[in-house]
């Protein structure tokens, strides 16, 4: 089975990684695509609301999944399709987290899986302006026409992995990982548990929420810890990142999560430990207090990268909504 693996991609309804609303799977055997599967999903009930931020990215709404199978059924289909082989994904810690968290929400068991990340691999393999899925696909000669559709993104990850195997002259994921100086990740098995029936979680950020409401909610949100599975060669790994102002595609809890998945340390304030400041849009125009504080530290000799949302998206290997 070492020559057979499955590329996987999840789309989520909201900032909870377990709110899976679509999955795409592409099985590869001996360097060739041999099977495909994709479906919309009704997210686990506890996290079934659709965030406007997520819908803006992938276009899926609550109405689209009304007749879709539940995650309980889709989990069985995913496990059967993978057949015990390894998984491949672009920004794999996110997709592995989605798989694990969705099962946690429904109390389902999950077998262990090895996995490889094409985002980390592409950073080690090709010198590109960024390593977003469309950029890497263009480099390896695969045309991706429906980015942020789960089936298209899984197919893209499969072709990136196949191209990397040709580049390194390898035929299996363990060989390729060694050749690229990476290691396979491991998603440990989880056991089934009884999940109490709970009322659905209400949206954390309704479309009518004003700027003060968004600020208050962000101030109360806990900061996630950096992912231990993040690529050490990534541009945000080990760096303390603060966000100033409002971002177009993500609210602050979401962008903090993305930073942590990349191995960065999200921070709510600019301090002497800050390495990166992301400058978003401000309702009042001009520079925010965090921006001014960062410039004060820079003037005193501290090294702080001040970047835009577009630059952050590129460093995260994402596409802006």
112-126, pLDDT tens digit by residue?
Answer: 999 999 999 999 999
**Is it the case that residue 196 has pLDDT exceeding 70?**
no
Rounded Cα distance, 287 and 235, in Å: 25
Place of tokens 């990534």: 234
- State both tokens at 69: 């199978």
Closest CA to 229 of 269, 188, 190: 188
Interval 220-242: pLDDT, tens? 667 888 887 777 878 899 999 99
Interval 298-314: pLDDT, tens? 999 999 999 988 888 88
How, if at all, do strands 4-12 and 240-244 pair? unpaired
**Is it the case that residue 150 has pLDDT exceeding 80?**
yes
Quick check: helix, strand or coil at residue 240? Answer: strand
**Is it the case that residue 174 has pLDDT exceeding 50?**
yes
Report the first-to-last Cα separation within the chain, whole angstroms: 37
Provide the percentage of residues in the chain whose pLDDT is more than 70: 88
Quick check: helix, strand or coil at residue 281? Answer: strand
Q: Which H helix or E strand runs over 21?
A: strand 20-29
Sorting pLDDT into bands at 50, 70 and 90, what band is 265? very high
pLDDT of 262 reads 85
pLDDT of 248 reads 73
* Half-sphere exposure in the Cβ direction for 307 (13 Å, CA): 18
pLDDT of 284 reads 47
Rounded Cα distance, 278 and 282, in Å: 12
Interval 63-83: pLDDT, tens? 999 999 999 999 999 999 999
Of residues 257 and 20, which shows the higher confidence score?
20
Rounded Cα distance, 72 and 46, in Å: 13
Closest CA to 313 of 233, 229, 228, 254: 254
- DSSP letter for 201, please: P
**Is it the case that residue 153 has pLDDT exceeding 60?**
yes
Of residues 215 and 43, which shows the higher confidence score?
43
- Give CA separation, 16 vs 225, 272, 312, in Å: 15, 31, 21
Does residue 57 contact residue 249 with C-beta atoms inside 8 Å? Answer: yes
Does residue 90 contact residue 9 with C-beta atoms inside 8 Å? Answer: yes
For residue 210, how many other CB atoms are within 10 A of its CB?
Answer: 9
* Rounded mean pLDDT, 190-199: 72
**pTM as predicted:** 0.69
Closest CA to 5 of 159, 172, 160, 235: 172
Closest CA to 136 of 169, 102, 159, 103: 159
The residues pairing with 11 across neighbouring beta strands, listed in sequence order, are: 22
Quick check: helix, strand or coil at residue 117? Answer: strand
Does residue 59 contact residue 21 with C-beta atoms inside 8 Å? Answer: no
* Rounded mean pLDDT, 43-49: 93
pLDDT of 207 reads 47
């Amino acid at each position: 089975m070492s020559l057979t693996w499955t590329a996987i991609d999840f789309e989520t309804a909201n900032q909870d990684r377990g709110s899976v609303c679509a999955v795409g799977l592409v099985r590869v055997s001996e360097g060739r695509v041999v099977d495909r599967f994709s479906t919309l999903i009704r997210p686990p009930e506890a996290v079934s609301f659709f965030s406007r931020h997520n819908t803006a990215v992938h276009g899926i709404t609550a109405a689209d999944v009304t007749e879709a199978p539940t995650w309980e059924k889709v989990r069985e289909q995913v496990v059967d399709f993978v057949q015990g082989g390894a998984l491949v994904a672009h920004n794999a810690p996110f997709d592995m987290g989605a798989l694990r968290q969705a099962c946690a929400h429904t109390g389902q068991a999950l077998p262990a899986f090895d996995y490889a990340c094409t985002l980390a691999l592409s950073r080690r393999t090709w010198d590109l302006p960024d390593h977003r899925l469309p950029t890497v696909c263009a480099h390896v000669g695969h045309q991706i026409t429906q980015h942020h559709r789960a089936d298209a993104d899984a197919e893209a990850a499969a072709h990136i992995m196949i191209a990397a195997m040709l580049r390194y002259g390898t035929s299996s994921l363990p060989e390729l990982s060694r050749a690229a100086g990476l290691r396979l990740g491991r998603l440990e098995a989880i056991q089934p548990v009884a999940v109490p029936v709970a009322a659905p979680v209400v949206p954390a950020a309704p479309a009518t929420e004003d700027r003060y409401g968004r600020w208050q909610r962000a101030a109360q949100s806990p900061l996630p810890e950096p992912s231990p599975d993040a690529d050490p060669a990534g541009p945000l790994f080990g760096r303390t990142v603060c966000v100033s102002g409002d971002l177009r595609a993500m609210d602050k809890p979401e962008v903090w999560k993305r930073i942590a998945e990349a191995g960065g340390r999200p921070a709510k304030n600019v301090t002497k430990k800050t390495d990166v400041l992301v400058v978003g849009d401000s309702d009042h125009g001009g520079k925010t207090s965090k921006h001014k504080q960062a410039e004060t530290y820079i003037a005193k000799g501290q090294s702080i990268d001040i970047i835009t949302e577009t630059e952050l998206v590129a460093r995260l290997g994402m596409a802006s909504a």
